[in-house]
């Protein structure tokens, strides 16, 4: 899954978000309807699709969708 | 001799806290948000002076009445809670007298949380199969609302108070026996879900009472939860736990009629269900009306599953619990 597909699928998981509003450089905390619920959705999505666990620190240390993608890819190869 | 679950009853305190009421306290929340995040519409909250053992007592009285059980047949009582009445005596001793059980009855406390019910069943089974008891009364009763800071929205929307009573009885019928248990512990996660200031390590002091004076002092302690870590822990540990329970009981996933997990959070449960590839109609969630009731959550869900016909006589039900500790455990029971 490349970054564009990753972004598209994450966006689809966030039901309240208008399609096409999230890009790889979007700071996900600035998404209008962002809540702590979204962090759980991201964790569940990554777990289901990559069998990788994002920790609370991973999320704390990331800003954009691209950051999350990079962490997932790094964990996937390790 | 084998052991089986003969009867379950539960008691909810009359006062309930609705999502609407929570939204009035937290204007940034909507009722839809709370429901989406937790799967809960209301949770019951105990009143001042009504503690865990009271809810356990009421549940036990309901059990005797609803299932026509002679209290004099009880020869062991296990009281499971994270809110014991005293450091001493054992609260189960006080309950033996209050419930007018025989003085030949054994009594122990089990200060466990999310995995309290499965631990109770495991101990009851061991007591019965080793010939030490015939009728074990397991009371799983918790009052999380008393250790939640009123400003902790995530905790207030999730947890509810309740007491459950389960009777585990000896039987020679192996087909209805409680199965083998799988258990696990990882204390490295203890800090991620903890009631601070609730025991002898770092007890409540004057500074604490002053700090929380405006919310009644939080004199029983304050629950703190790292929700992301707990979520991750559950995603990591539950799938191998289920595999292990099935393997120990020599059962295939397809042979289980119903899966009943600790009712932690409906969103987490649905993520787990999908991860485990269990169909929705074989996976029971009962949270809307009660929330996460800690050690009472599985027996309440079981009682409701039986009541609505989702769990029928002879059904194999896999029960699995996970949470504070970290701890996890589970088995297969027959309704």
Is residue A51 classed exposed, middle or buried when 0-12, 13-18 and 19+ CB atoms within 10 A define those classes? exposed
Using DSSP, state whether B188 is helix, strand or coil: helix
Using DSSP, state whether B23 is helix, strand or coil: helix
Find which of A17, A37, A42, A51 to mutate to test the B interface (most B CBs within 10 Å of its CB): A37
> Do strands B258-261 and B283-284 pair parallel, antiparallel, or not at all (unpaired)?
parallel
Q: What local confidence, expressed as pLDDT, does residue B285 receive?
A: 98
Tell me the pLDDT of chain B (335 aa) as tens digits.
999 999 999 999 999 999 999 999 999 899 998 998 899 999 999 999 999 999 999 999 999 999 999 999 999 999 999 999 998 999 999 999 999 999 999 999 999 999 999 999 999 999 999 999 999 999 999 999 999 999 999 999 999 999 999 999 999 999 999 999 999 999 999 999 999 999 999 999 999 999 999 999 999 999 999 999 999 999 999 999 999 999 999 999 999 999 999 999 999 999 999 999 999 999 999 999 999 999 999 999 999 999 999 999 999 999 999 999 999 999 999 99
Alpha helices (H) along chain A: 3-13, 36-50, 56-60, 65-77
Tell me the pLDDT of chain A (78 aa) as tens digits.
899 999 989 888 887 788 888 889 988 888 777 777 888 889 999 999 999 999 888 988 899 999 999 999 999 887
Q: What local confidence, expressed as pLDDT, does residue B304 receive?
A: 98
Note which residues in 212-271 of chain B have CB less than 8 A from chain A: 226-229, 231-232, 235-236, 267-268, 271
CB atoms within 10 A of CB B265: 25
Domain A3-14+23-77, CATH among 1.20.1260.10, 3.30.930.10, 1.10.340.30, 1.10.1200.10:
1.10.1200.10
Closest CA of chain A from B229, distance in Å:
6
Contact between chains at A44 and B271 (C-beta distance less than 8 A): yes
Closest CA of chain B from A57, distance in Å:
9
- Global pTM reads 0.95
**Residue B132, CB-side half-sphere exposure with 13 Å CA sphere:** 12
Concatenated DSSP letters for B192-220? GEEEETSSSSS---HHHHHHTGGGTT-TT
Please, are residues B318 and B246 in contact by the beta-carbon 8 Å criterion? Answer: yes
Asked if B30 reaches chain A (Cβ–Cβ under 8 Å), the answer is no
Determine the distance from the C-alpha atom of residue A38 to the mean position of all C-alpha atoms in its chain, rounded to a whole number.
9
- Helix or strand holding residue B42 (H, E): strand B42-44
Chain A residue closest in CA terms to B274: A48
- Taking contacts as CB-CB distances below 8 angstroms, the residues of chain B near A39 are 228
**Domain limits of chain A?**
3-14+23-77
């Amino acid at each position: 899954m490349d970054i564009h597909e990753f972004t598209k699928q994450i966006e689809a998981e966030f039901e309240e978000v208008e399609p096409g509003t999230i890009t790889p450089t979007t700071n996900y905390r600035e998404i209008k309807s962002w809540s702590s619920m979204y962090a759980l959705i991201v964790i569940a999505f990554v777990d289901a699709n990559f069998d990788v666990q994002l920790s609370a620190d991973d999320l704390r240390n990331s800003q954009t969708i691209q950051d999350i993608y990079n962490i997932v890819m790094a964990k996937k190869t390790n | 001799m084998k052991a089986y679950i003969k009867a379950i009853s539960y008691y909810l305190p009359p006062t309930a806290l609705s999502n609407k009421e929570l939204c009035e306290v937290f204007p940034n929340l909507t009722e839809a948000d709370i429901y989406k995040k937790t799967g809960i519409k209301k949770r019951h909250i105990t009143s001042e002076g009504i503690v865990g053992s009271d809810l356990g007592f009421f549940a036990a009285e309901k059990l005797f009445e609803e299932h026509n059980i002679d209290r004099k047949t009880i020869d062991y009582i296990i009281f499971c809670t994270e809110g014991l009445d005293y450091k001493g005596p054992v609260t189960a001793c006080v309950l033996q007298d209050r419930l007018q059980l025989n003085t030949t009855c054994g009594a122990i406390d089990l200060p466990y949380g999310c995995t309290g019910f499965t631990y109770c069943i495991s101990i009851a089974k061991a007591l019965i199969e080793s010939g030490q008891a015939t009728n074990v009364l397991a009371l799983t009763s918790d009052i999380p609302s008393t250790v939640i800071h009123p400003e902790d929205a995530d905790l207030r929307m999730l947890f509810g108070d309740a007491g459950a009573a389960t009777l585990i009885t000896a039987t020679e019928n192996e087909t209805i026996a409680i199965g083998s248990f799988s258990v696990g512990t990882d204390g490295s996660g203890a800090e991620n879900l903890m009631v601070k200031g609730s025991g002898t390590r770092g007890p409540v002091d004057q500074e604490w009472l002053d700090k929380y004076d405006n919310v009644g002092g939080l004199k029983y302690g304050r629950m703190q939860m790292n929700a992301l870590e707990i979520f991750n822990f559950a995603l990591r540990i539950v799938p191998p736990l289920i595999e292990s329970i099935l393997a120990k009981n020599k059962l295939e996933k397809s042979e289980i009629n119903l899966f009943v997990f600790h009712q932690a959070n409906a969103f987490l449960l649905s993520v787990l269900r999908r991860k485990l590839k269990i169909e929705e109609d074989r996976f029971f969630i009962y949270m809307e009306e009660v929330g996460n009731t800690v050690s009472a959550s599985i027996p309440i869900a079981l009682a409701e599953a039986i009541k609505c016909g989702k769990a029928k006589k002879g059904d194999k039900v896999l029960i699995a619990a996970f949470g504070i500790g970290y701890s996890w455990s589970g088995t297969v029971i027959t309704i």
